[in-house]
């Protein structure tokens, strides 16, 4: 479904600050798979998502989505088929527009372009039903400005916007890291439900090893722009945080430190 072949990105090439952000990355993700990505700071986690989404261009290599090469496709083209959430809850929504208007823009990605004059009644009913699933009471606040919502509410709304027209691929870049533990758990629950029901291929970057090992069906570990470990099946199920730290240290000559990749 998603294939990355020999992807390379170098920052500050030819200078004393040259760094290989992605170094000969080869990965394949099956349709409907949910993969978590971990690694220390600077390992290449966000760079990988930026390359897939089109925010960063590859120096060399290829990216294929559903058999179509998208390596040279611009970011706005990929945004129609790739959903993405960031760590910052303020990203992904228009704060001066209402909840209803934000959802209409997201819904228009797959149905029609832009906003019509007013929101169609049928769409309003659909939005209300979709919001009720979040369990945050937003279904009764369709006319509220998004800027008035809490961080957790905005992140849940952004998740709904990214999946209201199921994308071919969903990229989650530490999308619960800025939330309190209770809200983060709720957003993770909603994420799992949306992904499973729509069979969305998902890649989730996280710093939390425990979350990485217990979310989705496979885990990949990056270090210094390189893929150093892939965990799936029985090996992943039996892996503990402590063992993974040791395996990573041996494979990448690095260390995690505690249960967070800092």
Instruction: Please answer whether residues 229 and 247 qualify as being in contact, where contact means their C-beta atoms are separated by less than 8 angstroms.
Output: yes
> pLDDT grade, residue 122 (50/70/90)?
confident
> pLDDT grade, residue 236 (50/70/90)?
very high
Smallest CA-to-CA distance from 22 within 228, 226, 206, 221 is with 226
- Is a pLDDT exceeding 50 seen at residue 258? no
> pLDDT grade, residue 247 (50/70/90)?
confident
pLDDT at 257: 46
pTM above 0.85?
Answer: yes
pLDDT at 121: 80
Residue 137: count of CB within 10 angstroms of its CB: 10
- Is a pLDDT exceeding 50 seen at residue 117? no
- Is a pLDDT exceeding 60 seen at residue 110? no
Using DSSP's 3-state secondary structure scheme, residue 131 falls into helix
What is the average pLDDT score of the chain? 90
pLDDT at 81: 94
Domains and CATH numbers, the chain: 1-81+167-262 (3.40.50.300), 94-166 (no CATH)
Segment 148-158 mean pLDDT: 94
Instruction: Please answer whether residues 85 and 171 qualify as being in contact, where contact means their C-beta atoms are separated by less than 8 angstroms.
Output: yes
Segment 149-167 mean pLDDT: 94
Instruction: Beginning with the edge strand found earlier in the chain, give each strand of the sheet holding 60-65 in spatial order.
Output: 19-29, 2-11, 60-65, 68-69
Question: How far is residue 61 from each of residues 18, 71, 72, 83, measured CA to CA in Å?
Answer: 19, 8, 11, 22
Question: Residues 186-223: pLDDT tens digits?
Answer: 899 999 999 999 999 999 999 888 889 999 999 999 99
Q: Measured between alpha carbons, how far is 130 from 112 in angstroms, rounded to an integer?
A: 19
Instruction: Please answer whether residues 204 and 23 qualify as being in contact, where contact means their C-beta atoms are separated by less than 8 angstroms.
Output: no
Report DSSP state, residue 42: T
Q: What percent of the chain has pLDDT over 90?
A: 76
Residue 219: count of CB within 10 angstroms of its CB: 24
Smallest CA-to-CA distance from 207 within 227, 191, 222 is with 222
Q: Measured between alpha carbons, how far is 180 from 249 in angstroms, rounded to an integer?
A: 30
Instruction: Please answer whether residues 223 and 41 qualify as being in contact, where contact means their C-beta atoms are separated by less than 8 angstroms.
Output: no
- Is a pLDDT exceeding 50 seen at residue 115? no
Computed from CA positions of residues 184, 54, 193, 109, in that sequence, does the dihedral angle turn out positive or negative?
Answer: positive
Question: Residues 43-90: pLDDT tens digits?
Answer: 999 999 999 999 999 999 999 999 999 999 999 999 999 999 999 988
């Amino acid at each position: 479904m998603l294939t990355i072949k020999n992807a390379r990105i170098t920052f500050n090439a030819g200078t004393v600050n040259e760094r290989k952000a992605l170094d000969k990355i080869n990965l394949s993700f099956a349709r409907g798979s949910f993969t978590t990505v971990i690694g220390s700071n600077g390992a290449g986690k966000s760079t990988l998502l930026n390359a897939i989404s089109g925010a960063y261009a590859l120096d060399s290599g290829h990216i294929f989505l559903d058999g179509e090469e998208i390596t040279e496709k611009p970011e706005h083209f990929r945004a129609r088929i790739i959903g993405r959430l960031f760590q910052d809850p303020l990203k992904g929504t228009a704060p001066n527009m209402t909840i209803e208007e934000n959802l209409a823009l997201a819904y228009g990605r797959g149905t029609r372009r832009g906003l019509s004059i007013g929101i169609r009644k049928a769409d309003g009913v659909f939005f209300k039903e979709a919001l009720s699933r979040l369990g945050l009471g937003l279904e009764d606040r369709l006319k509220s400005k998004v800027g008035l919502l809490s961080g957790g509410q905005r992140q849940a709304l952004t998740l709904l916007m990214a999946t209201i027209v199921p994308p071919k691929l969903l990229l989650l870049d530490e999308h619960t890291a800025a939330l309190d533990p209770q809200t983060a758990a709720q957003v993770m629950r909603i994420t799992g439900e949306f992904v499973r029901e729509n069979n969305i291929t998902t890649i989730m970057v996280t710093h939390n090893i425990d979350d990485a090992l217990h979310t989705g069906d496979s885990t990949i570990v990056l270090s210094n722009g390189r893929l150093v470990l892939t965990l799936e099946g029985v090996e992943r199920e039996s892996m503990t945080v402590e063992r993974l730290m040791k395996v990573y240290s041996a494979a990448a000559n690095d260390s995690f430190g505690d249960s967070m990749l800092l």
